[in-house]
Chain A
Amino acid sequence: MFTPATQNELETDVQVSPEGHARVVLRNQLDAQTAATCWSDLERKLSVANIKTLEVDASGLCQCDGAGLALLQYLNMGKMTPSAKISVVGLKDEMEKLFREFTPEDYEAFRPRGSTRKKSLPEEIGHAVAQAGADLREQVVFFGDILASLPRTLPNRQRMRWPEVRHIFESAGANAVPIVSLISLLVGLIIAFESAQPLAQFGAQIFVANMIGLVMVRELGPLLAAILLAGRSGSAFAAEIGTMKVNEELNALETLGLDPIPFLVVQRITAGILLTPLLTCYATFMGVLGGVLVMLGLGFPLKLIFHQLTSAVHLHDVVLAAAKGVVFGAIVSGVGCLRGLQTKQGPSAVGISTTRAVVTSILLIVIADAVFSVVFFMLTR
């Protein structure tokens, strides 16, 4: 049977004379619980008059823990009676020893100081720009390092470690198929459904098929695949390599004479480059399927939908989508690995790297997509 310890309630007696002499008598048990309850009482009674002397009589205390001693110390430091001469008397020997061990000077020396000076806005902007510049430089150097290590790594079967590539291909690609299927199908379905109604006003509902074909093949298929890859696998790469860095596994690699780029990065980038075009094609197919389902629901025959699709989408669109897949795959896996390698020490470091991997990947994907659009426009006009 569980029985909580019996407690002696704290007795507090505060006497303040008209001349400004105060006496606080404490009896029984002064601990975290009782100190909290007597605090407001003491503060109220001791703040009313201009107290010249304060005597705290602790001879009746049978037990006093760290919180109780802190309350006595607080009174002794004159925090409640700033202009009074204070004495704490009657503490039992062992309590007295602990009480005297922590002095007001210690409190002043150890307590937190005010926060450090806040940076001005121009300083903050300058700092951010300098950091962005350094980050860009690091990214360029990193991609240079990868390109330099490719000719040494790719032809060497042992160094390339193809089973590792196959494993990454499976975890980042094959395992992503269900989520890519669902999201692409729903996006295709939603776009077709939302555009069917306004187009119906012009009797142009059949062109939903053309639109869904072009949108999915040229833009949304590659974007969806890349963004999902960034969220699933780019972050995983950053977390894996970041954890290795925190656990000093990367240091172990270096002292074994192994460069982390050919050992860890090249495999991930190769897998990313190989699997993203396939994932892009699959996402595109599922998106178009979603659109086709809506068209079928609207009563259009499958043959007509197929005819509209093939008339709108050309081979060069599919090649463009695959090319985007290759570039996006390189971006996502490269950025994931870079952020992992940049992981600093501390418990939040891996989390920060993961977030940075996803954010930078998506930013670079959108920038690369814009460049693709401009180049494609110039090539086909």
Chain B
Amino acid sequence: MNHPSENIIAVRNLKIGYDEKVILQNVNFQVRRGEVFMILGGSGSGKSTLLKNLIGLYTPYEGEVWIAGGNMVAAKDDERLLLFRKFGVMYQGGALFGSMTVLENVLLPLDEFTDLPGPVKELVALAKLKQVGLGAAAQKMPSELSGGMQKRAAIARAMALDPCILFLDEPSAGLDPVTSAGLDHLIKELAHQCGITFVIVTHELASIYSIADRIIMLDCQTRTVIAEGKPAALRESADDPWVRRFFNREPDPIELAQPR
């Protein structure tokens, strides 16, 4: 095995970008099994691009992405399909299929990738929906759900095949504090109860403090990871002033000094 057993994700010397433009380079980090790991950074720092490289939607220029024992970058098509089964993804807007009910959305991966009989698949999907608190909304169309409910339904769909990792892109974006806190509670519970590893891209300070085990911070100036560790420790003693300002929600003094 080329990676330490406690690390379920290992990223090595990653250089990523698009249209021949480098967005991030020298990215190195590990995610431990069962932890809630967050990717932070300012707008335009490449958080979502990094996530898309981790899940194999984009191909990095250089480096390796090891997920549950397989190298996502070097894997051939059939190996990639096996790797895709090991993680689920929740996209920022939920990305539920609008022509299907919520239940049908969750059933889709089960229909495609398992030989389970119909009633058992239905039981699996309904149990996942109950787990995210949406059992009663199983027959609704995605357009009938609120933003928070759509994100919960997307998590249920991502969990349908019981992956060991869930990638969430901005789960709290656009949600009210109560719904956002509810989603945080759900993530914590799933991590604790089902042992799922979470990799979350977010800006939400409240979520970071309440559920993140470890974080990395990306910087658009240096185009790399500028901080890694526990959020509380970084807030107090990060070397980089930008990281401290981020955690303390303080404005940039240089920007403030500029005439309006």
Contact = CB atoms under 8 A, between A and B. Distances in A.
Contacts of B141: 346
Contacts of A2: 69-71, 75, 79, 82
Contacts, number: 103
Contacts of A67: 110, 114, 116, 120, 124, 162
A32 B116 contact: yes
Contacts of A33: 114-115
A32 B161 contact: yes
Contacts of A66: 124, 127-128, 159-160, 162
Q: Which 3 A-B pairs have the closest CB atoms?
A: A347-B98, A70-B123, A36-B115
B248 interface: no
A192 B62 CA distance: 63
Contact of B130 (A37, A39, A106, A347): A106
Interface stretch (B37-45, B132-140, B249-257): B132-140
B135 A112 contact: no
A376 interface: no
A70 B127 contact: yes
A94 interface: yes
B14 to A, nearest CB: 19
A109 B114 contact: no
Interface of B: 1-2, 69-71, 75, 79, 82, 97-99, 101, 103, 110, 113-117, 119-124, 126-131, 135-136, 138-139, 141, 143, 159-162, 193-194
B47 to A, nearest CB: 24
A109 B82 contact: no
A14 interface: no
Contacts of B115: 33, 36-37
Contacts of A69: 124, 127
Nearest to A43: B117
Interface string A30-67: 01110111010000000000000000000000000111
B120 A107 contact: no
Contacts of B69: 2-3, 5
Contacts of A113: 139
Nearest to A345: B143
Contacts of A377: none
B138 to A, nearest CB: 5
A74 B161 CA distance: 18
B207 to A, nearest CB: 24
A195 B35 CA distance: 78
A110 B162 contact: no
Given A94-B193, A97-B193, A102 B130 contact: yes
Nearest to B138: A110
A79 interface: yes
Nearest to B195: A94
B99 A347 contact: yes
B116 A35 contact: yes
A123 interface: no
A346 B98 contact: yes
B122 A111 contact: yes
Interface in A73-114: 73-74, 79, 94, 97-98, 101-102, 106-107, 109-113
Nearest to B74: A2
B136 A110 contact: yes
Interface in A240-272: none
A348 interface: yes
Contacts of A1: 2
Contact of A36 (B99, B114, B123): B114
A4 interface: yes
A112 B79 contact: no
A312 interface: no
Given A73-B127, A102-B130, A35 B162 contact: no
Given A3-B69, A97-B193, A112 B138 contact: yes
Given A71-B120, A97-B193, A111 B126 contact: yes
Contacts of A70: 116, 120-121, 123-124, 127
Most B Cβ at <10 Å: residue of A1, A2, A79, A101:
A2
A123 to B, nearest CB: 23
Most A Cβ at <10 Å: residue of B101, B115, B194:
B115
B82 A4 contact: yes
14 contacts: A2-B71, A2-B82, A3-B1, A4-B82, A5-B69, A31-B162, A36-B115, A69-B127, A74-B119, A74-B123, A111-B138, A112-B103, A346-B143, A348-B99
A113 B101 CA distance: 13
Contacts of B130: 101-102, 106, 110
A290 B116 CA distance: 61
Given A36-B114, A101-B127, 14 more contacts: A32-B162, A39-B117, A66-B127, A66-B159, A66-B160, A67-B120, A69-B124, A70-B123, A71-B116, A73-B123, A79-B119, A94-B193, A102-B131, A111-B126
A91 B257 CA distance: 64
B120 to A, nearest CB: 5
A146 B66 CA distance: 61
Contacts of B101: 112
A33 B1 CA distance: 25
Contacts of B70: 2
A127 to B, nearest CB: 21
A107 B127 CA distance: 8
A346 B97 CA distance: 10
Contact of A109 (B75, B119, B123, B135): B135
Most A Cβ at <10 Å: residue of B70, B99, B115, B120:
B120
